[in-house]
């Protein structure tokens, strides 16, 4: 029996503390594309300790509360990431204690056969003075939890990408071991590593973490928008429309108007769009 929307909304998400070390930031950067040009100084700024500049989307994995929605009664095996929005207030500080708090903001019930959407907000602050570092709004498609009722206020719709031809195209090959590397950032969901578990969830093989694809998007935008360096985003959001498989070739269509960016990601070999309604703003 599905958990009720009221019970899910009221479930106390855990607070999490983390002090990010240089090694954490470097591991994350290497798992989302930074370092693919190891002689480029801009890449080295993200992947070695000297003058380390953390990747902006690192905030997604910092002080993460883990699979707490499973504890709230949601069918974890049938949950997939639907949309994600990240606002970066300041770069993740290294060797500084951080605190993350999460709270449910919306349940949108689609019916017993269709599942529901669950959105929660996570804020990351410095532990000492609660200075804001990042705000994250994550929407999950909970395919096994329809019929629970609706509650809260869902986020507004993401904007469509422009109808015109993109201003830039950026291609990147996802390594075969990408999911096995990315999971070391803390997301140990076996959907991304265990073939038998992935099959029971309805996938032909383990799929790439949605937030790994999202991290590649941040890298692709930075690579195309930077002039000699890797630009940082201050805001980035997208809808997950199909899973990426390790080994896929990703192509990003990118539109730019000043500091505003539109984007989507495709896997041409499989004829699928994996990220859509992408929007970002340069820091």
| C-beta separation of 251 from 170 below 8 A | yes
| C-beta separation of 128 from 142 below 8 A | no
- Cβ neighbors of 150 (< 8 A, separation 6 or more) are 5, 106, 107, 108, 109, 116
Reported as half-sphere exposure (CB side, CA atoms, 13 A), residue 131 has a value of 10
Q: How many residues are listed for the chain in this entry?
A: 283
Residues acting as catalytic residues: 187, 192
Q: Are strands 249-257 and 260-267 parallel, antiparallel or unpaired?
A: antiparallel
d(CA 143, CA 111): 10
List phi, psi (to 5°) of 51. Answer: 55, 35
d(CA 223, CA 21): 24
Residue 248: count other Cβ atoms within 10 Å of its Cβ.
25
Residue 188: count other Cβ atoms within 10 Å of its Cβ.
11
């Amino acid at each position: 029996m599905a958990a009720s929307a009221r019970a899910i909304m009221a479930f106390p998400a855990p607070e999490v503390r983390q002090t990010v070390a240089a090694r954490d930031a470097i591991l994350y950067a290497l798992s989302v594309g930074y370092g693919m040009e190891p002689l480029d100084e801009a890449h080295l700024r993200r992947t070695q300790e000297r003058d380390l500049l953390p990747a902006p989307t690192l905030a997604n994995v910092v002080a993460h509360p883990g699979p707490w929605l499973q504890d709230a009664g949601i069918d974890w095996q049938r949950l997939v990431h639907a949309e994600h929005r990240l606002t970066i207030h300041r770069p993740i500080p290294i060797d500084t204690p951080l605190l993350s708090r999460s709270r449910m903001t919306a349940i949108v019930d689609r019916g017993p056969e269709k599942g529901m959407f669950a959105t929660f907000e996570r804020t990351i602050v410095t532990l000492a003075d609660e200075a804001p570092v990042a705000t994250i709004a994550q929407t999950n498609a909970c395919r096994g939890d329809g019929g629970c009722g609706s509650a809260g206020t869902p986020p507004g719709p993401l904007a469509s990408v422009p109808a015109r031809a993109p201003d830039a195209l950026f291609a990147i090959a996802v390594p075969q071991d990408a999911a096995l590397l990315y999971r070391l950032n803390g997301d140990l969901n076996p959907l991304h590593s265990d073939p038998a578990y992935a099959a029971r969830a309805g996938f032909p093989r383990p799929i790439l973490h949605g937030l790994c694809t999202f991290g590649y998007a941040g890298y692709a935008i930075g690579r195309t928008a930077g002039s000699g360096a890797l630009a940082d985003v201050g805001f980035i959001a997208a809808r997950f429309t199909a899973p990426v498989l390790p080994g896929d070739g990703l192509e990003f269509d990118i539109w730019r108007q000043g500091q505003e960016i539109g984007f989507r990601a495709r896997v041409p070999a499989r004829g699928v769009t994996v990220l859509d309604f992408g929007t970002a703003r340069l820091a």
